[in-house]
Chain A
Amino acid sequence: MNPEFSRNHFELLGLPVAFAIDPAALDDAYRELQGRVHPDRFAAAGEAERRVAMQWATRANEAYRTLRNPVDRARYLLGLRGFDTGEESNTAMPPDFLMQQMEWRESVEEARSSRDPAALEALRREIDASRAEMHARLARALGGERNYDAGCSLVRKLRFLDKIEAEIDEVLETMAGSAG
């Protein structure tokens, strides 16, 4: 077996290089690949072959993890197209989006101080709806439109949504923990 480490994640799993992905096909492809390269299958093989199998298994895991998550998949695909999402460097978000982020964070603070888990759940539903809409726009931008700049911008925005949801979860956990 010859590990072609130059193959990208999509190719490795035998999937089309595209943002739109069938989660079931991804799972199947991963299971199939993992079955072929699992280190247990090479227990009786030589040292070198076992090492190669291990590298394959690691590659397969990384590919699966990246492609399973829509934001990671989008970032990876944009990278293949030569686009940097600029999550570490690009701070110029659209003002209305940032205003929304401020308002959401204020709502989290209010709910935290008034100990209002229902308000947090409602906010999370609002954020989930916003995320679903952004995922749909991401699929269009990276699909037919081939608007990769818009794709980069959406990845940056989605990072904010992940962050605030993690904060909401933390606050909810703290509330649940101190309730009893």
Chain B
Amino acid sequence: MAYSDKVIDHYENPRNVGSFTKDEEGVATGMVGAPACGDVMKLQIKVGADGVIEDAKFKTYGCGSAIASSSLVTEWVKGKTLEEAAGIRNTQIAEELALPPVKIHCSILAEDAIKAAVADYRKKYGEGDADPARKAAD
């Protein structure tokens, strides 16, 4: 199967690979897996006191499309609020990377990963803006 240039670019030069230390302030983690293909994706966000995502990192075991999808999402979420990040749709990812139908599930995995990270953040620090919630979590 032919990968699009964008997939190859993200696959060969993945952005934001790695992880934050677990106890770092404002860090939340989303982990998801796709049983049908065995892909595993870990996506972390680091949220500033203003509730905006400052940085993101990922680690993905899977095919080129899965790696590209998560790499792209870590780029996209930077500078976004939690609300905006949770609003990213797999169709946008699939369109940007020109994923063929058989690889759509990779973009779904990336959407689920960012949603899981946002949910983890809210569980840790509470809903809405980070600032008052942070104080509550201290």
- A residues with a Cβ closer than 8 A to B are 85-93, 95, 97-99, 101-102, 105, 155-157, 159-160, 162-164, 167
Q: Judging by beta carbons under 8 Å apart, are B32 and A159 in contact?
A: no
CA A60 to CA B62, docked complex, whole Å: 36
**In the complex where A88-B105, A102-B59, A102-B61 touch, is A93 in contact with B33 (Cβ < 8 A)?**
yes
Give the shortest distance, in Å, between B78 (CB) and chain A (any CB).
Answer: 23
Of residues 109 through 138 on chain B, the ones whose CB sits less than 8 Å from some CB of chain A are 109, 112-113, 116
The answer, among B31, B36, B37, B105, for a CB contact under 8 Å with A98, is: B31
Q: Judging by beta carbons under 8 Å apart, are A98 and B33 in contact?
A: yes
A-B contact pairs, 20 of them (CB 8 A): A85-B35, A86-B35, A87-B36, A91-B113, A93-B33, A93-B35, A98-B31, A98-B40, A101-B33, A101-B40, A102-B31, A102-B42, A102-B61, A155-B35, A156-B35, A157-B35, A159-B38, A160-B35, A160-B40, A162-B38
Closest to A100 in B: B40
Residues from chain B with a CB closer than 8 A to the CB of A159 are 35-36, 38
CA A99 to CA B33, docked complex, whole Å: 10
Residues from chain B with a CB closer than 8 A to the CB of A164 are 38
CA A180 to CA B108, docked complex, whole Å: 43
For B, the interface residue count at a CB cutoff of 8 angstroms equals 18
Closest to A153 in B: B35
Of residues 15 through 63 on chain B, the ones whose CB sits less than 8 Å from some CB of chain A are 31-38, 40, 42, 59, 61
Of residues 61 through 108 on chain B, the ones whose CB sits less than 8 Å from some CB of chain A are 61, 105, 108
Q: Judging by beta carbons under 8 Å apart, are B38 and A91 in contact?
A: no
CA A159 to CA B35, docked complex, whole Å: 6
Give the shortest distance, in Å, between B1 (CB) and chain A (any CB).
Answer: 18
Residues from chain B with a CB closer than 8 A to the CB of A92 are 32, 112, 116
Q: Judging by beta carbons under 8 Å apart, are A95 and B36 in contact?
A: no
Closest to A90 in B: B35
The answer, among A85, A86, A88, A101, for a CB contact under 8 Å with B61, is: A101
CA A161 to CA B118, docked complex, whole Å: 28
Q: Judging by beta carbons under 8 Å apart, are B59 and A163 in contact?
A: no
CA A45 to CA B108, docked complex, whole Å: 53
Which has the most chain A C-beta neighbours within 10 Å: B35, B38, B40, B108?
B35
**In the complex where A105-B40, A164-B38 touch, is A98 in contact with B61 (Cβ < 8 A)?**
no
The answer, among B59, B61, B108, for a CB contact under 8 Å with A91, is: B108
Give the shortest distance, in Å, between A88 (CB) and chain B (any CB).
Answer: 5
Q: Judging by beta carbons under 8 Å apart, are A99 and B31 in contact?
A: yes
The answer, among A88, A99, A102, A167, for a CB contact under 8 Å with B36, is: A88
17 A-B pairs besides A90-B35, A91-B34, A101-B61 with CB distance below 8 A are: A86-B35, A87-B35, A88-B35, A91-B108, A91-B113, A92-B32, A98-B33, A101-B33, A102-B42, A102-B59, A157-B35, A159-B36, A159-B38, A160-B40, A163-B38, A164-B38, A167-B38
